[in-house]
């Protein structure tokens, strides 16, 4: 596609985990980016009884909902497929069943409407959202992605140009919140419930470990923390509400201190690598970014080190179609869309930084290798 066009409209489709989402995003040289519709159907209720995302249930739910969600996105944007310039779709990483549903649907639409198909890496969607919202205008910037499936620090150097500085070597942070909640009998998704309980608890009651503290790579590990929580809980069982609150508060404190240590390392490295850069930015993405204790720690850390803390609105931090449509627009404008993607296969694993060494266990939930 011609990268020099002065306006674009892209349909974005996202089905890599437990949100069925579609959006219409436009961009013009004159007016910049505009989210014209952003429809997200969460499957939380479908998975709640199981305490986590069940891949087979997720894939079936995407099949049932996706057509209607795409139709709603077009209607809300008051547009038709004819007026769309391209179809962007998450092609990985994620749960393979959901990816197949999204990619096949996008291929069918692209073929029928004779539009280019743009396979998008889900993580690139998260990484570029800050440019959709105007929170980051220049490259490079730092991204902290903390969701149910990912925990990464990524240097964003440009479109399709990422360096992964750190990742989890076992559980993702959201997963650690969810597992802790399940262990304590709190409902799914665990994050908000652990945060709520923590507000009434004593964070000093349990000294939970701070994994990888002192390591010079900003990697993460949360499975030891989860084990420590399990041991503490079984040592004092049966648990009263006060015990649960104390465990949640102590767990959250351990998480905050761990993140603080890892992110501080990353900010310092960024400063060393880009000493002359004005307006250095840390962008946060992923559902865990909703956590107020984590947010205020990050805000303070950035303030102390002269970084701007950019947190896009929460509905754009979590999985959505607008970030996929926007990544499509970015790729067109960067001259990266050739129009011959119809044979692209979905990828359960698809690192953003292909040069980064794989980390054992650092995958999406539901597909531990
Ligand atoms: O980005 P997201 O909506 O979905 C994917 O993982 O793809 O993130 C969901 C995760 C869940 O693990 C959930 O427990 C966590 O984000 N989460 C939170 C909070 N709200 C959501 N974790 C901690 N504190 C919260 N307030
Ligand atoms: Zn995501």
Domain ranges, ordered by start, for the chain: 7-131+316-349, 139-311
Cα–ligand 2 centroid distance for 61 (angstroms): 18
pTM: 0.92
Query: Would you state the pLDDT for residue 364?
Result: 47
Average pLDDT over residues 324-349: 94
User: Considering only CA atoms, which residue is closest to atom 10 of ligand 1?
Assistant: 148
148 C-alpha to ligand 2 centroid (Å): 8
Residue 365 has pLDDT above 80, yes or no: no
More reliable by pLDDT, 112 or 355: 112
Residue whose CB lies within 8 A of the most ligand 1 atoms, among 189, 312, 362, for a mutation test: 189
Identify whether 93 is preceded by a cis peptide bond (ω within 30 of 0).
yes
Q: How much is the pLDDT for 362?
A: 58
Confidence of residue 37 (pLDDT cuts 50, 70, 90): very high
- The Å distance, Cα 287 to ligand 2 centre, comes to 8
Convert 307-322 to b/e letters by CB count within 10 Å (16 or more is b): bebbbbeeebbbbbbb
Rounded to whole angstroms, the Cα distance separating 173 from 358 reads: 18
Find the largest Cα–Cα distance for the chain.
65
Instruction: Give the residue-averaged pLDDT of 218-241.
Output: 94
Fold of 7-131+316-349: Nucleotidyltransferase; domain 5 (3.30.420)
Give the Å distance between the CA of 146 and the centre of ligand 2: 9
Mutate to test the pocket of ligand 1, among 50, 174, 291, 319 (most ligand atoms within 8 A of CB): 174
- What six digits make up the tokens of 156? 């964003």
Would you state the pLDDT for residue 367? 35
Among 48, 65, 47, CA closest to 102: 65
178-200 confidence digits (pLDDT tens): 999 999 999 988 999 999 999 99
Side by side, the strands of the sheet bearing 308-310 are 161-167, 151-158, 141-146, 281-285, 308-310
pLDDT at 220: 95
Model pLDDT, residue 51: 77
Say how many Å lie between the CA of residue 15 and the centre of ligand 2: 10
| Residue 366: per-residue pLDDT | 44
pLDDT at 43: 86
pLDDT 10s digits, 58-95: 889 999 999 999 999 999 999 999 999 999 999 999 99
Q: What is the chain's mean pLDDT, rounded?
A: 93
Using pLDDT thresholds of 50, 70 and 90, give the confidence band for residue 361: low
Domains 7-131+316-349 and 139-311 share a fold: yes
Atom index in ligand 1 nearest the CA of residue 148 equals 6
Question: What pLDDT score was predicted for residue 363?
Answer: 46
Query: E strands, the chain, where?
Result: 7-14, 19-28, 32-42, 86-92, 117-121, 141-146, 151-158, 161-167, 281-285, 308-310
Q: Mean pLDDT, to the nearest integer, of 150-158?
A: 96
Fold of 139-311: Nucleotidyltransferase; domain 5 (3.30.420)
Backbone angles phi, psi at 281, to 5 degrees: -130, 135
The ligand that comes nearest to the alpha carbon of residue 318 is: 1
- Residue 47: pLDDT band (50, 70, 90) is confident
Q: Given the DSSP bridges, would you call strands 308-310 and 281-285 parallel, antiparallel or unpaired?
A: parallel
Give me the DSSP letters along 290-325: G-HHHHHHHHHHHHHHTPEEE---HHHHSS-SHHHH
For position 353, what pLDDT does the model report? 87
User: Within 6 Å (CB) of ligand 1, which residues are found?
Assistant: 17, 147-149, 174, 177-178, 189-192, 195, 286-288, 290-291, 318-319
Question: Which residue minimizes the CA distance to atom 8 of ligand 1?
Answer: 287
pLDDT of 356? 80
Q: Convert the pLDDT of each residue in 250-281 to its tens digit.
A: 999 999 999 999 999 999 999 999 999 999 99
- Segment 157-173, tens digit of pLDDT: 999 999 999 999 999 99
Q: What is the pLDDT of residue 18?
A: 86
């Amino acid at each position: 596609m011609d990268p020099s066009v002065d306006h674009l409209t892209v349909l974005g489709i996202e089905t890599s985990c437990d949100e069925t989402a579609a959006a219409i995003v436009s961009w013009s040289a004159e007016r910049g980016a505009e989210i014209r519709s952003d429809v997200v159907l969460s499957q939380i209720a479908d998975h709640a009884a199981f305490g986590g995302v069940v891949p087979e249930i997720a894939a079936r739910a995407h099949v049932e909902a996706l057509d209607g969600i795409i139709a709603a996105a077009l209607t809300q944007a008051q547009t038709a497929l004819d007026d769309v310039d391209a179809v962007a779709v998450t092609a990985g990483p994620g749960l393979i069943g959901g990816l197949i549903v999204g990619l096949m649907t996008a291929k069918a639409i692209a073929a029928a409407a004779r539009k280019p198909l743009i396979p998008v890496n889900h993580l690139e969607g998260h990484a570029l959202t800050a440019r959709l919202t105007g929170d980051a205008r220049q490259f490079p910037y730092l991204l902290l992605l903390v969701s149910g499936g990912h925990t990464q620090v990524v240097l964003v150097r440009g479109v399709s140009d990422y360096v992964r500085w750190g990742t989890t070597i076992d559980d993702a942070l959201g997963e650690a919140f969810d597992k802790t909640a399940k262990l304590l009998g709190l409902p799914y998704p665990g994050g908000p419930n652990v945060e709520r309980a923590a507000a009434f608890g004593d964070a000093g009651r349990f000294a939970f470990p701070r994994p990888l503290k002192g390591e010079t790579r900003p990697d993460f590990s949360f499975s030891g923390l989860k084990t420590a929580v399990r041991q503490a809980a079984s040592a004092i069982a049966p648990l009263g509400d006060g015990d649960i609150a104390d465990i949640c508060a102590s767990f959250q404190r351990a998480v905050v201190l761990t993140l603080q240590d890892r992110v501080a390392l990353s900010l310092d490295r960024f400063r060393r690598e880009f000493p002359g850069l004005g307006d250095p930015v840390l962008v946060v993405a992923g559902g865990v970014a909703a956590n107020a204790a984590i947010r205020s720690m990050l805000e303070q850390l950035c303030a102390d080190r002269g970084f701007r803390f950019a947190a896009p609105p929460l509905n754009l931090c979590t999985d959505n179609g607008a970030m996929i449509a926007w990544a499509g627009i970015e790729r067109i404008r960067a001259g990266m869309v050739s129009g011959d993607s119809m044979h692209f296969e979905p990828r359960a694993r698809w690192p953003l930084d292909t040069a980064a060494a794989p980390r054992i266990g650092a995958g999406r939930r539901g597909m531990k290798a």
